[in-house]
Amino acid sequence: MPTYDYECGSCDHKLEIFQGINDPVKKKCPECGKNKLKRLFGSGAAIVFKGSGFYQTDYRSEGYKKAAKADKKTSSDSAGESKSSENKSKPKAEAKPKPKSTGKDA
């Protein structure tokens, strides 16, 4: 349920009311008792993160980021070296045609 800001036009009292979206707009000021309360323009909704460890579980630590970069760097370096060594050491094999069988058993 969202929190709405209200202001009284008579006594300038400001307050926040926690109410549902479909609830009717409040009109009576709790301070002066007059029907001059107006809901202020705003988003009407707030994000509330509940529970402990929000930042620890949603964002990676610096140590993890450094290890991932190092791992990525070493894997890309070794992949480049292995490709170049494969190209130099192995000549391409020529395709040899297979002998055709006549279909007769000898």
Distance separating alpha carbons of residues 29 and 15, to the nearest angstrom: 9
Give phi and psi for 3, each to the nearest 5.
Answer: -105, 130
Nearest alpha carbon to residue 15 among 47, 48, 38: 38
**Residue 105 binned pLDDT confidence (cut-offs 50, 70, 90):** low
Running DSSP on this structure, what letter comes out for residue 9?
Answer: T
% of the chain residues with pLDDT over 70: 54
- pLDDT per position as a tens digit, 36-62: 999 887 755 566 666 665 565 566 677
pLDDT for 92 equals: 58
pLDDT for 51 equals: 66
Which structural domains are found in the chain, ordered by start?
Answer: 1-75 (2.20.28.10)
pLDDT for 27 equals: 93
- pLDDT per position as a tens digit, 5-17: 899 999 999 999 8
The mean pLDDT value for 22-34 works out to 91
Average pLDDT in the chain: 75
Longest Cα–Cα distance of the chain, Å, equals 114
The pTM score is 0.40
